[in-house]
């Protein structure tokens, strides 16, 4: 009997996960390690990042504290990353602000973290040939990028911007066999979402509208594993909505 390589396994792959100190990024890092990957994790908070590192399965993982809204943080991460087979951009921030109160500082903060950092980190990794042939790059966008939830103009715009960036980048690096995709989660139990609730958002009604209820970070992590694994080798320029059925009645592509 021949031994068949499991196309859904991440065994033998090295995967960089940003935003790994909490929420979705943290769980993606843990799940990737459980699926056999060696992971490089980054986050801004050293204590929480170490907590994630301690929860990783297996050996040989690397944890780097870096603020990716600063170029030095990006350069630092590029410098320590060996050849990567996958990159997951899970770092991001959110804040509810009614449109009438947005200002340049708010827009800059949100776009620095959610849009510019993942784009510039990807650019840095590609420039240093850190991403392997047939590597997979994954941006964690958000359902809000299409659905535009109340008081999320800056956040929704920053996440929609990833869609355009992903589609264009994917064309440019397809000849190296590299793939680029977005995952767009709906409402997932995370510290970020808890923060929005405390920040004045009335979230309960939205949760009630989701047929399968709220998601867990694991749900996003499992989809991420698929997008990183060879099983998805023919999938690129894809925008994958993962929302427990919430957006289907919204006609969000109209």
Partner 1 sequence: MDNIDTFIEKFITAVDFQEAVEITPDTILKDLPEWDSLAALGVIVLSDMEYGKTITGEHLKQVSTVNDLYQLLN
Q: Residues interacting with partner 1, by CB under 8 A? A: 96-98, 100-101, 103, 106, 150-151, 198-202
Beta-bridged to residue 87, according to DSSP, are 16, 137
Q: How far is the CB of 97 from partner 1 (least distance, A)?
A: 5
Comparison of 166 and 193: residue with beta carbon closer to partner 1 = 193
Q: How far is the CB of 45 from partner 1 (least distance, A)?
A: 18
* CA 248 from centre of chain: 22
Comparison of 124 and 195: residue with beta carbon closer to partner 1 = 195
Comparison of 52 and 190: residue with beta carbon closer to partner 1 = 190
Supply φ then ψ for residue 85, to 5 degrees.
Answer: -100, -15
The sign of the dihedral angle between the CA atoms of 127, 18, 11, 168 is negative
Q: How far is the CB of 95 from partner 1 (least distance, A)?
A: 8
Q: Which of 155, 187, 239, 253 is catalytic?
A: 155
> What is the Cα–Cα distance from 64 to 246, expressed in whole angstroms?
35
Q: How far is the CB of 80 from partner 1 (least distance, A)?
A: 35
Residue 30 token pair: 């843990």
Provide the 3-class DSSP secondary structure of residue 70.
Answer: coil
- Give the alpha-carbon dihedral of 160, 22, 132, 121, to 10 degrees: 60
Comparison of 55 and 150: residue with beta carbon closer to partner 1 = 150
> What is the Cα–Cα distance from 60 to 95, expressed in whole angstroms?
35
253 is catalytic: no
Question: Which residues are designated catalytic?
Answer: 155
């Amino acid at each position: 009997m021949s031994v068949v390589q499991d196309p859904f396994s991440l065994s033998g792959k090295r995967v960089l996960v940003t935003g790994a100190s909490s929420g979705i990024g943290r769980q993606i890092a843990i799940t990737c390690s459980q699926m056999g990957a060696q992971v490089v994790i980054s986050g801004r908070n050293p204590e929480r990042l170490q907590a994630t590192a301690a929860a990783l399965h297996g050996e040989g993982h690397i944890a780097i504290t870096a603020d990716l809204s600063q170029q030095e943080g990006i350069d630092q991460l590029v410098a320590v990353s060996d050849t990567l087979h996958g990159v997951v951009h899970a770092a991001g921030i959110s804040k509810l602000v009614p449109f009438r109160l947005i200002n340049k500082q708010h827009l800059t903060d949100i776009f620095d973290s959610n849009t510019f950092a993942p784009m510039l980190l990807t650019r840095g990794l590609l420039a240093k040939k850190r991403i392997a042939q047939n590597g997979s790059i994954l941006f964690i966008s958000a359902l809000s990028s299409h659905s535009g939830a109340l008081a999320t103009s800056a956040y929704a715009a920053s996440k929609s911007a990833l869609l355009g960036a992903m589609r264009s980048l994917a064309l440019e690096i397809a000849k190296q066999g590299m793939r680029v995709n977005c995952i767009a989660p709906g409402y997932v139990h995370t510290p970020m979402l808890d923060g929005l609730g405390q920040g004045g958002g009335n979230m309960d009604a939205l949760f009630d509208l989701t047929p399968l209820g709220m998601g867990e970070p694991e749900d996003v992590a499992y989809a991420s594993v698929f997008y990183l694994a060879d099983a998805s080798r023919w999938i690129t320029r894809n925008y994958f909505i993962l929302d427990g059925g919430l957006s289907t009645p919204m006609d969000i592509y109209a």
